[in-house]
Amino acid sequence: MYRTHTCGELRLADVNKEVTLAGWVQTVRKFGSITFVDLRDRYGITQLLFNENLNAQLDENPLGREFVLQAKGKVNERSSKNANIPTGEIEILVSEFSVLNKAVTPPFTIQDDTDGGDDLRMKYRFLDLRRNTVKKNLELRYSVNRSARNYLHENNFMDIETPFLIKSTPEGARDFVVPSRMNAGQFYALPQSPQTFKQLLMVSGYDRYYQIVKCFRDEDLRADRQPEFTQIDCEMSFVQQEDILNMFEGLIKRIFKDVKGIDYTETVERMSWEDAMWQYGNDKPDIRFGMKLCNLKFPAHTFPTKESISSLIDGANFQVFDGAETVIAIAVPGCSEYTRKQTDELTEWVKRPQIGMKGLVFIKCNADGTYKSSADKFYSEEKLKAIAEAADAKAGDLILILAGAEERTRKATSDLRMYMGDKLGLRKADDFKLLWVLDFPLFEYAEEENRWVARHHPFTSPKPDHIEVMINNNPVIENAAEYLKHPYANIKANAYDMVLNGNEIGGGSIRIFQRELQEKMFEALGMDATEQQHKFGFLLGAFEYGAPPHGGLAFGFDRLCAILGGSESIRDFIAFPKNNSGRDVMLDAPSTIDDKQLVELSIKLDVK
C-alpha cells in the first residue's frame, strides 16, 4: 500500500504516530520557509506541513493543484485548529514525500462551488466526480442500494439476473436493438424492464425476486430522462395489492432510516387516482401542502362520482367561465395583498406557452372579510364569498381561477399550484411525504389510432370486479367522440404508484396470470392472435403450466436517489450520465464504427 492511513482518519489520539498518506493536492500555501499542503482523498482532507529542510526538494518538485502525492511523517497537534473538518486538530509533519503523478491545471476548480459550466464538467466528468458534492451524491446512491438490498434480503427476496439481450416487442416506448452477427438479419433488444422475465420467475416458483438493474428506452430525451436508467425491480407471488403496499412502504421507510436517519413512522397516505386528479389535477400530487383544486365546473362523464357545484358560477353571464369546459380554483394562503404587479406576473406566468392558458381570474379574500375580484363585474360579494368557501379559502388568501378545456386547465392549475408552493416555500427539500396513488384506469384512449392502450402495461390486471366487464365487452370503439362512454373507459387497474414529494418514485401492479385474460388484454390493445403469439407466445405458454397469482413493482432508482439527495436532477446522481442528445461527451459516444463491423453484422448505413 502507498499509505498507512486515509486522509480522513487521523485524530488527536494519533499524535506522534509515523504515518504515510497518499492523495491529491487540494491547496498549497507557502508562509516563508514553511509550506502547508491540504491533501485530499475520498475520505477527507489532512494538512501536511513541509518544514524548511524540505525546501530544496520542493523547489525541485514543485507541487501543483491535483498532483498525486505520497507523504510520510509524524502526526502533530496543530497550533491553530480547524473545527470544520474531522482531521482539523492534527497535521502531518512531513519527513519524506514523493510525487506519484503530476497534473496539468484542471479546466475548472475542484470545489463545491465550481467555476465549470455543465458542458465542461460533463466532458471532464472524471474531474467533476472529484468534487465533494458529486461524491456525496454517489455515496448516497450506494447507501440507498445497500439499504434496499439488505431489506429485501431480510424479507426473503432473491436477486436473480435477467438477460440484457432479449427480444424486441415494442409496446409504448422504442427499443434499443442490437444486430446479431451470428443470426444475420436478426436483432436482440435491450430490455425496457425485466417485466416478462420476472413474471416467468414467478411461474417458476421464485416467489420473491428483486434486481437493481439497468433498463433502456430509446425515447426523445426530455429534460431529465436518460436512455439507460436503473430500477429496483421486484416481484412477489401469492400476494394481493395490500401485501405489496405494506412490503414496499417498509422498503422506503427502511431507506429513509438507513440513508437519511429519518424515522418515517406515519402511515403512508393512500388516494385513488380519481381523487388525485380531482383534488390536485395530477396523478402524483405533492401532499406536503394543501391548496387543493376546487372544481367549479367540469364535464361530469370524466369523474362520474363527483357532484357538480357549477351553480356557484352559472348564470352570471361571465363568458370566460360560461364558455369553458372546466373552471378550477385554488386558494393560495396569505397572498390576498398581492399587488397588481404581482397578479399581473401570475397572469403572464399562466399565459406562457408551457402552461397555455388565456388568462387568470383572481379573488382576494381580504383580511377584513371583504372580497375583491378581477371578475367583480359579474359576481356579487355574496357570490365571491360562496366561491371562496367552496375553495376552502380563508381571510387573507388569494384565490386563483383558471378556465378552459378540461385536460389543459387541470394540468395548468396543478402546475400553478406547484409554482405557488415553491414560491411560498411550502415544498421543503428535507420534508418527505409519501403517498400511494391507487385505482388507475386500466386503459387510456389513443386518439390517433382510435384504440385502447395500456396505461401501465399490458400485464396489469383489472380490479377483480372489473374482469367481467373486460371479458364480456368488445374493445372496439365504434364512436370515437364518445369513447368515454365505452365500458372499458371505467375499468380500473390493480395498479399503484408510490409518490414522494410530487414525484413518482415507483409503480407496479397485480398482474394478469390467466392465459385467457392476458389474451383478452392483448386483443383489447389491438393485437391479433398471430402477433400475440409472435411477441408474447412464451408468456402465454408459461401461463398454461401453473402460473401463481403475483404482482410487483419497480422503483426508479435514479430519481429516488435524486429526491433523497434534495435534487430534481437525476443526472447529478449518475456517475457517467448522457446529455439530452443521448451522447456521452466524455467518451464521444455514440460514434461511427468500422465498415468491417457493419459487414460482419449484415447491415448497411442508410442515413437520409
Q: Could you tell me the smallest distance in angstroms from the CB atom of residue 157 to a copy of itself?
A: 9
CB closer to a copy of itself, 480 vs 587: 587
CB closer to a copy of itself, 520 vs 578: 578
Q: How far is CA 15 from the centre of its chain?
A: 47
Q: Could you tell me the smallest distance in angstroms from the CB atom of residue 449 to a copy of itself?
A: 14
DSSP, res 492: B
CB closer to a copy of itself, 68 vs 316: 68
In sequence order, which residues have a C-beta less than 8 Å from that of residue 243 and are 6 or more positions away? 236
DSSP per-residue letters across 19-31: EEEEEEEEEEEEE
**Residue 590, preceding peptide bond in cis (omega within 30° of 0):** yes
Looking at residue 305, its amino acid is T
Contact 218, 111 (CB under 8 A): no
For Cα atoms 499, 505, 509, give the angle at the middle one, nearest 5 degrees: 85
Q: Could you tell me the smallest distance in angstroms from the CB atom of residue 369 to a copy of itself?
A: 55
Q: Could you tell me the smallest distance in angstroms from the CB atom of residue 280 to a copy of itself?
A: 32
| End-to-end CA separation in angstroms for the chain | 56
Q: Could you tell me the smallest distance in angstroms from the CB atom of residue 473 to a copy of itself?
A: 24
Q: Could you tell me the smallest distance in angstroms from the CB atom of residue 602 to a copy of itself?
A: 5
CB closer to a copy of itself, 41 vs 283: 41
Q: Could you tell me the smallest distance in angstroms from the CB atom of residue 42 to a copy of itself?
A: 5
HSE-up of 307 (CA within 13 Å, CB side)? Answer: 4
Q: Could you tell me the smallest distance in angstroms from the CB atom of residue 426 to a copy of itself?
A: 34
CB closer to a copy of itself, 346 vs 547: 547
Q: What's the rounded Cα separation, in Å, for the pair 512 and 524?
A: 14
Q: Could you tell me the smallest distance in angstroms from the CB atom of residue 92 to a copy of itself?
A: 16
Q: What's the rounded Cα separation, in Å, for the pair 450 and 431?
A: 43
Q: What's the rounded Cα separation, in Å, for the pair 361 and 348?
A: 12
Residue with grid cell 436483432, as numbered in its chain: 187
CB closer to a copy of itself, 221 vs 287: 221
Burial of 75 (0-12, 13-18, 19+ CB in 10 A): buried
**What is the pairing mode between strands 550-556 and 228-237?**
antiparallel
Burial 371-409 (b: 16+ CB within 10 A, else e): bebbbeebbeeebbbbbbebbebeeebbbbbbbbebeeb
CB closer to a copy of itself, 341 vs 596: 596
CB closer to a copy of itself, 25 vs 271: 25
CB closer to a copy of itself, 368 vs 594: 594
